[in-house]
Amino acid sequence: MNLLELVEKAGVTGCGGAGFPTHIKWNAKADWFIVNAVECEPLLQTDQYLMRNRADDIVYACRQAAEMIGAQNAVIAVKRAYGKEIAALEKAVETAGAAVRIHRMDSFYPAGDEQVIVYEVTGKTVPCGGIPLDVGVVVSNVATLAAAFDAMKEEPFIMKYITVAGAVNSPAVIRAPLGTSVSECVEAAGGAAADDCFVVSGGPMMGKKIACDAVSGRVTKTTSGILVLPKGGFMEEYKGDMDLEALKKRARSACIQCSYCTMLCPRHLLGHPLEPHRIMRAAAFSEDLDQLLESDGPVRNASLCSLCGVCTAYACPMGLEPSKLNAFLKEEMARRGIRRSGKETTVPLPDREWRKVPTGRISRRVGTADYGGTKEDALIEIRPEEVAIALRQGPGVLPQPVVAAGDRVSPGTLIASIPAGALGSNLHASIEGTVVEVSDVIRIRG
């Protein structure tokens, strides 16, 4: 079996974003293969753990993937501040005699954005609305490489490395089976350190607020962080929902059109015609959503937004939320099948270098700077008695269950499969036990 078949069989998906199936992403020819090891969200330390402890595996998988896609350049992009991680990677590269280059990046946010990383490493800009492959680049997260290495040993993708941090008693990197409840993960990190908290899946900037008791409160293939945060602060408001009318009202009454949101927008700084201040102005004075979306102009450029949150959490002096407006517009455009026209090539702005937002400053601004880090090389293994594995783990087709209630399964047993080559990912049992439910989740009790 070749590498593509192995990652497809193992159900490997991207670990750093939306969970795009790796066998589809890697079924390409490109000049560059970049491993995204930047981990730019405050508090997250999962990728750093992997680099320190699985450097050989990551370098090996990087070489194999780069060779398969025909890439002349295999690069691991990492923050220069990660000294121990760089040392581990360099040693692994040297030991393997691998043609893999380590690219050091500054500590700014969002250095790990795919389009930012492509420019920083290659000097090429991804066209507006395009993907890295448009300029001959494939980017994969460092945790995806670790999962691909396991796939090469025919081990399915059933375990997740996760940072559990924020207001917990003992922040930790844990290793949990898919489908583990978020509350068990929080308990493994010593439990919540404050009474009234909420939970975010992912990093503080781009992670999603989740309910602990629902399917969304379970470990999935894309879970990289679980953050416990106290209610009542900036983060609760930042993660809260707001409807269009409320966003419009706030824009009309408080947006002073200073354009700081645009000046600091990482996509705008790459030359994209994304100008959140103009979208705010259009929204403030539009009659309704139909009018707002009717013309192909600044508002449709919301589709270029990465939802990094710099405009909302850092730039706006009035406490407004351009990223929430963009999120709303992106979703609405997708629902209506509206696409902005054009796939223009862009030129980064000359002042991009000194408008980058330092990670430390954004962490202080959003209130996460005071939380403790994880104990460096202590990994907590979680062994839950029950898991509920969601069928939907990413984009594409839903895998079809191949087990029924009452079946006995072991770690790695195929429980739901996709047709060969389809956009989707196979699912495997993550613990030993009996299948007790097959619905939109497959529940297994040990």
Residue with smaller CB distance to ligand SF4, 146 or 302: 302
Q: Nearest approach, Cβ of 319 to ligand SF4 (angstroms)?
A: 8
CA distance 228 to 246: 27
Q: Residues 367-372: contacts with CB within 8 Å, 24+ apart?
A: 367/233, 367/234, 367/235, 368/42, 368/43, 368/166, 368/204, 368/235, 369/42, 371/43, 371/165, 371/166, 371/167, 371/171, 372/165, 372/171
- Cα–Cα distance measured from residue 403 to residue 88, given in angstroms and rounded to the nearest whole number: 42
d(CA 292, CA 101): 46
Q: Smallest distance, Å, CB 279 to ligand SF4?
A: 8
User: Which residues would be at the binding site for ligand SF4 (CB under 6 A)?
Assistant: 255-261, 265-267, 274, 276-277, 280, 305-311, 315-316, 318, 320, 322-323, 326
Query: From the CB of 255, what's the least distance to ligand SF4, in Å?
Result: 3
Mode of pairing for the β-strands spanning 137-141 and 159-166:
unpaired
Residue 116: helix, strand or coil by DSSP?
Answer: helix
Q: Tabulate helix, strand, coil % of the chain (nearest 5).
A: 35, 20, 45
Give the nearer residue to ligand SF4 in terms of CB position, either 78 or 247: 247
Measured between alpha carbons, how far is 124 from 338 in angstroms, rounded to an integer? 28
State the nearest-atom distance from the C-beta of 318 to ligand SF4, in Å.
4
Nearer CB in complex with ligand SF4: 29/364: 364
Which helix (DSSP H) or strand (DSSP E) does residue 59 occupy?
helix 55-69
Tell me the three state secondary structure of residue 288. coil
Looking at beta carbons only, is 130 or 401 nearer to ligand SF4?
Answer: 130
Residue number, 95 or 257, with CB nearest to ligand SF4: 257
Burial label, 13 (beta-carbon count in 10 A; 0-12, 13-18, 19+):
buried
Write down the least CB distance from residue 267 to ligand SF4, Å: 4
Q: What angle do CA 434, 438, 440 make, to 5 degrees?
A: 135
E strand or H helix at 230: strand 225-230
Closer of 203 and 424 to ligand SF4 (Cβ)? 203
Query: Minimum distance between the CB of residue 270 and ligand SF4, rounded to whole angstroms?
Result: 10
Nearer to ligand SF4, 89 or 305 (CB): 305
Backbone angles phi, psi at 23, to 5 degrees: -70, -20
Q: How far is the CB of 238 from ligand SF4 (least distance, A)?
A: 12
Identity of the residue, 13 or 259, whose beta carbon is nearer to ligand SF4 in the bound complex:
259
- The alpha carbon torsion through 283, 285, 287, 292 (nearest 10 deg) reads -40
CB of 37 to ligand SF4, least distance (A): 22
